[in-house]
Structure 1
Amino acid sequence: MPWLQRRCFSSCGNISIPYPFGIEPGCYHDGFNLTCDYSFRHPKLFIGDGTVEVLEISIPNSTVCINSTNIMPLVDTDGASRPNTSRYHTWGGLREGGLFFVAPDRNKFLVLSCNNIQVILMGEDNSTINACATYCPSLEDSDSQPQLIRYLLLHGECSGLGCCGGGIPKGYTSYHIQLQPSNDSSFDAKSSVYIAEDGSYNISKLMYEPRGVALPALLDWVISNSSCQKHRSVAPACRSSNSFCQNYTSYVYNGYQCRCSAGYHGNPYILDGCQDIDECVHKEAHSCHGTCENMPGTFLCRCPDGTYGNPAVKGGCIKITNFSAGLTIGIVISGVAVLLLALSAPFVTRIVKLRKVKKRRAKLFNQNHGLLLQRLISQKADIGERMLFTLGDIEKATNNFDKSREVGGGGHGVVYKGIVDLHVVAIKKSKIVVQKEIDEFINEVAILSQINHRNVVKLLGCCLEAEVPLLVYEFISNGTLYQHLHVEGPTSLSWDNRLRIALEIARALAYLHSATSVPIFHRDIKSSNILLEESLTAKVSDFGASRYIPIDQTVMTAVQGTFGYLDPMYYYTGRLTDKSDVFSFGVLLVELLTRKKPYVYRSDNDASLVEHFVSSLTKGNLVDIADPQAMEEEDDGELQEVAILAAACTRLEGDSRPTMKEVEMALENLRARKKPSPYNSASKRYDGDQIVAPYKSIEDLLANKEMPIDGAIEESSRQYTIEEEILLSARYPR
């Protein structure tokens, strides 16, 4: 083997180089060549051609720790900063398409700036995958900077004030970073962007560091771009006899890694590389408090001579006091014990493991405030005891979270199809949450479990025995509104169905905003979060971003939602109100009217979907962007009235938008007019600078917020000039 030959260097400076990595030809697996640069005082190790510095290589974790340099804006030679919107390509030394990827669970996307800037993180396929914005107080006030630093020292947070950040998706080899200044700010040399290992930095200290400092980041790697064979132990690169193959899957790339089997450690990529772990060296860590005997891949534990009892428990071995009785018992027990231990070793090991699993589940149940939820259940007679599911129930329902049971996924987690008590259910496995959010989660579960509306997906219960709580919903089998609306071909959902579905969604949101005991704001209304039953009845789903808000209060939250549907005022201020859902619903109405996707659409003059829609409505050219099928099927000016309602919902100022109750009433009236009535409604017409509405029109119903519709359109148009980058897509629906 190449790694055994003398000519193969095993280190560079103080960094070890294990196979499959290597420096010299013939010493490394294809794609794992390294460069050791001796021109530095202390030699430095680089991946491939020498552009990405290596700090550490881990075979057991299949990771490489690298030196991640920051991205800084360009500055003119005279020292003046200037805007720069170019895209920076990070880690260009990694081979495109594999075999190294940014580890998703161990790294953070981090932006430091005391200017109002937006930073968009894009994948190598130019898809938008994350974004954040920073804001700082005016630096003209000499006390502003110390106040900012004091805030960071006290809270240690990176939530938009001088610093913002986000997660890293799985499977990308490199990223584009697009920097965008707002109209009233510019870049300076103090602005910087990092992709760095979570926990490797201190935000408050980093504010004082020079912006050229580098931070560590972690890369995952796979040994091959193929998948494991049917038998996991069979894989060409897994050469050790005590190793197995493990698939590595993501949205972008698939491959496999090699691991040492349980009870072994070492390097699975070389012959005999996985060596037996001697559990007896640290026997207490393996629940052995007696005499330990190491065995290949496992161990045996028994009470010492002269004692008897349970060696798996501390103090479980009891000394025999009567010599003759002890001698007789010892002879009998020792003979029987040897035989029983030999026969029952696998069972004992299994019992120990099951005990650990049970203890861990109980710990997670308490950590997730399961006792608090039990008290809430006992206090509320209308919440059934069955809403608490065990992890065993969930694992059985999903066949241990089998990948074939996945029916959806996105920013908030993965959804599985399962069967519980002969009922088909949808089980949502959320992403890792911050511990401080668990209290809010339990209260939300108690509230959401009481929602009983025909247009809201019913929450059946939850499981608190996992690291992240699992949610159990009723299963809706007919897909999403997005799937039914955006089909190939000229025809899609009929106009009548679209209008009815819009009304049903409005009913659900109005119910959540005003009919529940505590108002609930969804925060992520979009077509992919609207499920359809077999009869095409709409069901609002995915409350992963939802918040319950005390009546007549506005709260500050970390911004969540999908770009393209996100309320600009909420995006910039962080103030969540019921009007944030109204804006998202308005974008959804535009999507129903045009059959165009809000998060990817750009017009010929680079305008967003809503900007182009509002402009067409202003000019009386709605036919240029409206769906031809809807134009053909609509009756009596319905499409024009729904278009005006969409413009009203997407006004820049939240107070100028209607409430969801008013939107529901407007759509109810519009649907009622399809039936015979004493009114003979005429179609709307465009006359000069304003839209003239018929009797009982949308504008009449929203008279309490009356303003010329051209004013609403002009305001919406101005909004998108300022906020056009907000409507860029977060490519994957949640």
Structure 2
Amino acid sequence: MKLLPPLILRIISSLCLTTTLALAISMSKPDCQEKCGNITIPYPFGIGSECSANSNFTVICQNSTNPSTPFLSSINMEALNISMLGIVIAKLPVSPLNCSDVQTTQYLATSLLGTPFTISAEYNKLAVLGCPITVFLHAEAIGSMVGCRADCNANSTDTSCNGVNCCQTTIPPRLQELQYTYQSINRANTNNNSSSCGYVFPVESKWLQEDYTRYKSQEFRSAPLVLEWEFVEYSDNATCLYANNYGNDYLSAAQYCSCYGGFEGNPYLPGGCIDIDECSNPTLNNYCTGGTCINTIGSFTCQHPDDNNINRWSDPDDNNRSPIKIAFIGIGSALGAIILLLASWMSTKAIRKKIKANRKHKFFKRNGGLLLQQQLSTTHNSLDKTKLFSSKELAQATDRYNENRILGRGGQGTVYKGMLTDGRIVAVKKSKRVDEGDLEYFINEVVILSQINHRNVVKLLGCCLETEVPLLVYEFILNGTLFQHIHDPNEEFPLSWEIRLRIAREIAGALSYLHSAASAPIYHRDIKSTNILLDDKYHAKVSDFGTSRSVAIDQTHLTTRVLGTFGYLDPEYFRSSQFTEKSDVYSFGVVMVELLTGEKAVTSVRAEEGKSLAIHFLQSMEENHLFEILDPRVLREDSKEDIVVFAELARRCLHLNGKKRPTMKEVVVELEGIQMLKEGSVFMQNQENDSRDQNNTIDVDESYDFSSISGNMDLDTNTAYSPDAHRPLLDEP
């Protein structure tokens, strides 16, 4: 009976401890419901406004279903799972598309604007189910579009969703709403009487890989969507990290909080991170074999008998050791330790050197070094003309890729300003991602630029293949992009009409060289004002050849997955996915219109009206309103005849039928002809001044309608060229 009170006391203490731990690791706010159905609701989320951090994280638990269903009230979506690592899987309602033979712009019904939720770029894909459908996803943040095309094949057994009956594409990061343009064909004439042409929606990649083949149109109503959320406030013993930040900031920069090592629980709750008792864990306790495990805050220690001089082994001859022997033992031990450390250091250095060399070789192969060597050898070129920079050299040149050195960000990478050891200023392009699809663009750009030596094409100096992310090194172009000078004009150097005309001639000359004078025809495929750089003398330099392609002489067109920039993209290419040299002509025509009007290729106002700059320009020309849309800086100059001829040439470049557009060689001839007209008008003006000096005044009717001048006027090619036109386009090496 004497043992009973201590035993009861021990049981009561154990129960109290268990209850305390259970309360301590609760993920919800105290006195709040922790689950809705089978879903755990961790704080900052909470069922009801009093249990959540704020209204954005309030969960409504609907008990009308079995089990109960949690809804995120701020975005009105059902939650399928809520993770403390900044992830929520929600049920996205999906509705079928209406068939449309013309390009139709549409927003996803669910918007996350004004909430801490964003669509995860890492865990989701944009899916297109049904065919034939072409879809482009708009993303203002990156300035470009991504998209895909699904073609029909009733007999196909392909389940990869890569273009047959279904296609998928990546989603830009940090989006809170989706705007996409699609074009489809009504299948009512071929399959059934339904007006639906399929579905377009963002969805969890895992679902797309495993479950999409199971859907039936009459049953398909929703799909799982992965959202990222942020709530940076946290309690003690917690830290906030970047979610999924495995050397890849591009896919996700969402912040989430977690408990420090040695703690567990909810980092968002005050006191929510509880110390882990490692000594109660048999696996951890094995480290204390022969000793006693003592738990500490955030860690544990092992105490052995020798630590307290208990049962310490003793040598009976300890008292008889001489000081000399002790000195020799000490010196020998020290020398042995030094030799051991030196050997270890040398071995470690050799191993690290070997690992570093193997890593560089691995990166060289993964970054397409072998493919690059093969490509350059087949084009009768060599790596001798393209310098291979070391990773150390480029890191030093860019101050270890300091944020202050960033010149710009593009669809395929970030460009840094750098200075080499010989004092040359360069631009270093660092790819954002390293998957195989992006490496193809990198190798392609090296191969394309290695074949080009033209005064109006940016020069490739070399590349680096031994880093985790492939790098390209270009000549540094001082004065930014043509886009900046058109839409954010510099008062110190305004773009006069004469300069705009010269820049257009230089761009056209470069494209004409690419199409017809290079060793193999090259299609740029992404001509736009942001890809035209201006050097120290404001001469044009065509850049960004990441999506360019070489074409065999007997190849009539190039079929690829749809790439390009909305507003510059050839409508014919949008419909057929077949890229020709006339597609570059269309994009150049948009740049010509930018030079004329000073307007952007795409603006939110025109996007809502379903108009691009090209359509707006063509309608204005058709209605004889050209001078109403011109840039005031162009109108201030007395060059109406030149402007009209230039505008008519732009209209021909923008013809919807690619076969009726001029070639770039013809465009160069006509632009040179405009220059000759300009020089002739200057000569006539001088003659007029001379005549006026002799009291022979020539009157000009100022009300003359210059917009009636036909742009299809024949130009005598023998007189259209200036002396500069006969200089070779290819620079001497």
Q: Give the TM-score, by structure 2 length.
A: 0.71
| Alignment CA distance shift 1:651-1:208 (3 Å) | same
After superposition, residues 448-463 of structure 1 pair within 5 angstroms as: 448-463=449-464
Cα distance between partner residues in 2 of 1:397 and 1:298? 43
Q: Does 2:20 match 1:16?
A: no
| Alignment CA distance shift 1:359-1:52 (3 Å) | farther
| Alignment CA distance shift 1:176-1:685 (3 Å) | same
After superposition, residues 120-519 of structure 1 pair within 5 angstroms as: 121=137, 130=145, 132=147, 134=149, 136=151, 146-147=154-155, 149-150=156-157, 152-153=158-159, 156-159=160-163, 162-176=165-179, 188-189=195-196, 191-202=198-209, 205-206=212-213, 209-210=216-217, 212-224=220-232, 237-241=233-237, 243-244=239-240, 246=242, 256-258=255-257, 268-270=267-269, 271=271, 273=273, 360-374=359-373, 383-384=383-384, 387-421=387-421, 422-432=423-433, 435=436, 438=439, 441-442=442-443, 444-487=445-488, 492-519=494-521
Cα distance between partner residues in 2 of 1:17 and 1:206? 32
On the 8 A contact 2:645/2:710 being kept in 1, the answer is no
Q: Which amino acid aligns with 1:366?
A: K
Q: Does 2:593 match 1:590?
A: yes
Which of 662, 676, 688 lines up with 1:658 in the alignment? 662
| Alignment CA distance shift 1:564-1:200 (3 Å) | same
| Alignment CA distance shift 1:83-1:409 (3 Å) | closer
Structure 1 SS opposite 2:514: helix
Which of 46, 68, 84 lines up with 1:43 in the alignment? 68
Q: Deviations over 1:205-255 (max 9, x none)?
A: 53753452533221111114xxxxxxxxxxxx243436245599999x998
Structure 2 SS opposite 1:455: coil
After superposition, residues 74-93 of structure 1 pair within 5 angstroms as: 87=106, 89-92=108-111
2:540 corresponding residue in structure 1: 538
On the 8 A contact 1:171/1:250 being kept in 2, the answer is no
Q: Which amino acid aligns with 1:194?
A: F
On the 8 A contact 2:237/2:260 being kept in 1, the answer is no
| Alignment CA distance shift 1:113-1:611 (3 Å) | same
Cα distance between partner residues in 2 of 1:277 and 1:357? 40
1:562 corresponding residue in structure 2: 565
On the 8 A contact 1:459/1:473 being kept in 2, the answer is yes
Cα distance between partner residues in 2 of 1:184 and 1:526? 36
Q: Which amino acid aligns with 1:91?
A: T
Structure 2 SS opposite 1:146: coil
2:524 corresponding residue in structure 1: 522
| Alignment CA distance shift 1:340-1:136 (3 Å) | closer
**CA displacement at 1:436 relative to structure 2:** 5.6
| Alignment CA distance shift 1:577-1:534 (3 Å) | same
Q: Cα RMSD (Å) of the superposition?
A: 5.1
On the 8 A contact 1:69/1:213 being kept in 2, the answer is yes
Q: Deviations over 1:288-312 (max 9, x none)?
A: xxxxxx9999999xxxxxxxxxxxx
On the 8 A contact 1:598/1:610 being kept in 2, the answer is yes
| Alignment CA distance shift 1:457-1:243 (3 Å) | same
Structure 2 SS opposite 1:558: coil
1:66 corresponding residue in structure 2: 90
1:708 corresponding residue in structure 2: none
Cα distance between partner residues in 2 of 1:352 and 1:13? 55
Cα distance between partner residues in 2 of 1:122 and 1:375? 36
On the 8 A contact 2:444/2:546 being kept in 1, the answer is no
Name the count of aligned residue pairs.
624
Q: Which amino acid aligns with 1:223?
A: F
**CA displacement at 1:359 relative to structure 2:** 5.3
**CA displacement at 1:163 relative to structure 2:** 3.1
**CA displacement at 1:195 relative to structure 2:** 0.8
Cα distance between partner residues in 2 of 1:175 and 1:199? 20
On the 8 A contact 1:121/1:128 being kept in 2, the answer is no
Flag the structure with larger Rg: 2
Structure 1 SS opposite 2:454: coil
Cα distance between partner residues in 2 of 1:201 and 1:603? 30
Cα distance between partner residues in 2 of 1:522 and 1:669? 25
Cα distance between partner residues in 2 of 1:110 and 1:332? 69
Cα distance between partner residues in 2 of 1:101 and 1:643? 43
Structure 1, 477-486 or 375-384: larger mean CA deviation: 375-384
On the 8 A contact 1:603/1:612 being kept in 2, the answer is no
| Alignment CA distance shift 1:350-1:436 (3 Å) | same
| Alignment CA distance shift 1:367-1:5 (3 Å) | closer
On the 8 A contact 1:416/1:426 being kept in 2, the answer is yes
| Alignment CA distance shift 1:238-1:396 (3 Å) | farther
Cα distance between partner residues in 1 of 2:296 and 2:371? 45
Cα distance between partner residues in 1 of 2:211 and 2:473? 40
Cα distance between partner residues in 2 of 1:222 and 1:259? 12
On the 8 A contact 1:459/1:474 being kept in 2, the answer is yes
Q: Does 2:577 match 1:574?
A: yes
Cα distance between partner residues in 2 of 1:481 and 1:416? 19
| Alignment CA distance shift 1:390-1:28 (3 Å) | farther
Structure 1 SS opposite 2:614: helix
1:97 corresponding residue in structure 2: 114
Q: Gaps spanning 5+ residues in structure 2: where? A: 1-23, 285-294, 302-328, 686-699, 722-733
Which structure has more helix as a fraction of its residues?
A: 2
Q: Which amino acid aligns with 2:617?
A: F
Cα distance between partner residues in 1 of 2:212 and 2:254? 39
2:613 corresponding residue in structure 1: 609
**CA displacement at 1:697 relative to structure 2:** 6.6
After superposition, residues 686-701 of structure 1 pair within 5 angstroms as: 691=710, 696=715
Structure 1, 677-686 or 535-544: larger mean CA deviation: 677-686
The percentage of aligned residue pairs carrying the same residue is 37
1:7 corresponding residue in structure 2: 31
**CA displacement at 1:691 relative to structure 2:** 2.2
| Alignment CA distance shift 1:385-1:619 (3 Å) | closer
Structure 1 SS opposite 2:710: strand
On the 8 A contact 2:559/2:579 being kept in 1, the answer is yes
| Alignment CA distance shift 1:689-1:591 (3 Å) | closer
| Alignment CA distance shift 1:633-1:370 (3 Å) | same
On the 8 A contact 1:129/1:169 being kept in 2, the answer is no
Q: Deviations over 1:312-348 (max 9, x none)?
A: xxxxxxxxxxxxxxxx99x9699959x979xx99x99
**CA displacement at 1:596 relative to structure 2:** 1.6
**CA displacement at 1:356 relative to structure 2:** 7.2
Which of 547, 550, 559 lines up with 2:549 in the alignment? 547
Q: Which amino acid aligns with 1:97?
A: G
